[in-house]
Structure 1
Amino acid sequence: MPELELLRVDHAPALLEFERENRAYFAASVPDRGDQYFAYFDDRHSALLAEQADGLCFFHLLVGDDGAVLGRVNLVDVEDGSAELGYRIAEHAAGRGLATTAVREVCRLAAARYGVTTLRAVTTLDNAGSRTVLARAGFVPTGEISVDGRPGLSFVRSDPAAC
């Protein structure tokens, strides 16, 4: 059974492999991270850990029994009881309910561990899977937006403890 783990230093190799293996899959629905992300991955990983240590963000990995990363669920811009939720699941693991389960768990952690009372999220209109995950986790649409030039929706979830 996959486990949700807070990002650690030793996750770096498996996380890099996850991002490389799924790069094209992710780029079909979210902006590509770009070559620099991969070229300077170790520096970026260290920066994320520093942000997490400062309580600005909380990065979670969904890790399989074999230690492979199956997904990410992140809380960023944590401030004044609010945070933005972002997530991505490996192509080979998509469609099995892992995203919904992981998002719900991070919602509960957001409230219980990080003091977050309101979560925000965005997705493109053409990402039906992501819209479904957000709806199942109790997020409601708040308006139309542009996500890197593509039509999208913003969502909010109050009382994340009830996820």
Structure 2
Amino acid sequence: MPELQLLRLDHAPALLAFERENRAYFAASIPDRGDSYFTDFAARHGDLLTEQGAGLHYFHVLVSGDGSTTDEVIGRFNLVDVADGSAELGYRMAEKAAGKGLATDAVRQICALAADTYGLTTLRAKTTHDNPASRAVLTRTGFVATGEIEIDGRPATNYIRTLS
């Protein structure tokens, strides 16, 4: 059964493999990270963990199997720009894990963690119009559309969810 885990240093190899294996799939609906993301991955991973330790962001991975460090990363679920009881939710699922309800379950878990563990009261999210799966996940998990924007030149929607 997949397990949502707070990002750790030992997730790095599996996380990098996840990002490499799904790069083209992700780029179809969200801006590509660029080559430097992959060449500078180790330093970036360390920086993210430092920022997480300072409470600026909370990064999570969805791993397959029993939760051991050798498990495969099949999703990322991040709370970024944590401030004043609010954060922005961002997520991505591996292509082979898409369409199975795993993202919906993980977003529900993240919402509970945000409220119960991190003390947040509001989450924001955004997604492009050409990503119907992400739009459906947000709607199913209680997010409400608040306006139209552009992401990397593509039409998109902002969402918000109040946590109880």
* TM-score normalised by L of structure 1: 0.97
Gaps of 5+ in 1: none
Amino acid at match of 1:12: A
Q: How does 1:1-163 map to 2 (within 5 A)?
A: 1-65=1-65, 67-159=71-163, 161=164
> Which SS does the other structure have where 1:31 is aligned?
coil
CA offsets 1:2-40 (integer angstroms, 9 cap, x no match): 000000000000000000000000000000000000000
The 1-side partners of 2:8 and 2:135 are apart by 29
The 1-side partners of 2:98 and 2:156 are apart by 21
CA offsets 1:115-146 (integer angstroms, 9 cap, x no match): 11000000001110000000011000000001
Root-mean-square deviation (Å): 0.7
Gaps of 5+ in 2: none
CA drift of 1:148 comes to: 1.2
The number of aligned residues is 160
CA drift of 1:98 comes to: 0.4
CA offsets 1:41-90 (integer angstroms, 9 cap, x no match): 00000010001000000000000016000000000000000000000000
CA offsets 1:89-110 (integer angstroms, 9 cap, x no match): 0000000000000001000000
> Equivalent pairs: percent with the same residue?
67
* TM-score normalised by L of structure 2: 0.96
The 2-side partners of 1:33 and 1:149 are apart by 15
Q: Which of structure 1's runs of 4+ aligned residues deviate more than 6 A?
A: none
The 2-side partners of 1:17 and 1:123 are apart by 24
> Which SS does the other structure have where 2:155 is aligned?
strand
